[in-house]
């Protein structure tokens, strides 16, 4: 691609938008929650315990109910996740993460709609899933997780 003055101007504006996002209150709250989570030893212990039990869960999922430890692993996964989610640092981080995602979604939608009303914008972080939609992509022919507002 040949760099034109217009292209460079768009990149400069995108860089300014990035800096505004990084300096926003939502981002500050997210960073605070992230740092708190990283420093909370109990939260880290709970996260590690959940990740460990999740490995066993993935093994059990290959065989489903036929795995000899299915019921025990499923119960352990739920209880370990519940304990992890009940930790105040984990809960605060999850709230901050959802708020940041909502903020970024709103910005993406505003930019897309300013270009064209016909642009479909993924919502609620669906851009982070397979193909940008809960069903594997807007072009998959199935019902799409994207919302055209």
pLDDT tens, residue by residue, 40-90: 999 999 999 999 999 888 888 888 888 888 889 899 999 999 999 999 999
Kindly report the pTM of this predicted structure: 0.73
Round to whole Å and give the CA distance between 30 and 24: 10
Between the two ends of the chain, the Cα-to-Cα distance in Å is 32
Q: Which two tokens stand for residue 146?
A: 């994207």
């Amino acid at each position: 691609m040949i760099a034109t003055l217009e292209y460079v101007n768009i990149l400069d504006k995108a860089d300014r938008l990035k800096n505004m996002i990084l300096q926003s209150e939502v981002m500050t709250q997210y960073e605070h929650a992230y740092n708190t989570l990283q420093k909370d030893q109990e939260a880290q212990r709970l996260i590690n315990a959940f990740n460990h039990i999740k490995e066993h869960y993935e093994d059990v999922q290959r065989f489903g109910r036929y795995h000899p430890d299915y019921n025990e692993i499923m119960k352990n996964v739920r209880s370990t996740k519940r304990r992890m989610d009940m930790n105040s640092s984990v809960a605060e981080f999850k709230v901050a993460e959802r708020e940041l995602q909502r903020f970024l979604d709103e910005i993406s939608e505003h930019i897309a709609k300013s270009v064209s009303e016909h642009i479909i914008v993924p919502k609620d972080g669906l851009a982070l899933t397979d193909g940008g939609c809960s069903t594997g992509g807007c072009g998959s022919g199935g019902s799409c997780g994207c919302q055209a507002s």
